[in-house]
Chain A
């Protein structure tokens, strides 16, 4: 099991460019999440998905979009990148069912710099 994988590991974007952060999991988890982590701050939820074809906004969705066409993949799209989107992005997944939803499995993160 690879768990949760994210690509790329690092990326530098110019202001106004767009990119897609890739996330995949091979644990057959229904729930998937995107977070951003800024220095000294907790993880902030950007978007989440409870299954293929179903997504919803988290706390900080502005400037981002997601799609979930398969159980395994949950890409995050940045349109018109801004310096405020400089952050470390983590994808996570959790197993289905009531008790399992508390535990999230995280990927290694993508470090994004927008200049």
Chain B
């Protein structure tokens, strides 16, 4: 079993839709939960992070962590064509150097 599972998609939605991206994980020691966005032929860039459980909101983006279910989500409201990218979830334990990345979900937002 992989430590982090993420559906690779692709996921195609119309402009303005609410997008839900998800990851599951098996290591209960993970404390940092990150979402990276990667545009085609570019390096990933950090979009949001959450420490431990709970929700975090930043503009149109909301990150949720449910540690009891070992499940994290990223919601994108009012999706835009510029949101078309691959979204990678990532996790690490406190004090560790190793970050475990999901496979990434490719998202297409159609105008």
In the complex, B103 has a CB within 8 A of chain A: yes
In the complex, B92 has a CB within 8 A of chain A: yes
* Chain B residues near A98 (CB-CB < 8 A): 94-95
Asked whether, in the complex, the Cβ of A43 is within 8 Å of the Cβ of B101, the reply is: yes
Separation in Å of the B1 CB from the closest CB of chain A? 14
In the complex, B78 has a CB within 8 A of chain A: no
- What's the tally of chain A residues with a CB closer than 8 Å to chain B? 24
Asked whether, in the complex, the Cβ of A42 is within 8 Å of the Cβ of B100, the reply is: yes
In the complex, A22 has a CB within 8 A of chain B: no
Q: Among residues 59 to 115 in chain A, which have CB atoms less than 8 Å away from a CB atom of chain B?
A: 59, 90, 92, 98, 101-109
Interface of A is mostly: mixed
In this complex, which of B43, B44, B100 has the most chain A Cβ atoms within 10 angstroms of its Cβ?
B43
In the bound complex, how far is the Cα of B53 from the Cα of A6, in angstroms?
35
Asked whether, in the complex, the Cβ of B49 is within 8 Å of the Cβ of A109, the reply is: no
B1-34 contact mask (Cβ, 8 Å, vs A): 1 or 0:
0001010100000000000000000000000101
* Chain B residues near A43 (CB-CB < 8 A): 44, 88, 101
Asked whether, in the complex, the Cβ of B4 is within 8 Å of the Cβ of A42, the reply is: yes
In the complex, A34 has a CB within 8 A of chain B: no
A30-54 contact mask (Cβ, 8 Å, vs B): 1 or 0:
0100000000111101001010000
List residues of chain A with CB under 8 Å of any chain B CB. 4, 31, 40-43, 45, 48, 50, 56, 58-59, 90, 92, 98, 101-109
List residues of chain B with CB under 8 Å of any chain A CB. 4, 6, 8, 32, 34, 41-46, 49, 51, 88, 92, 94-95, 97-104
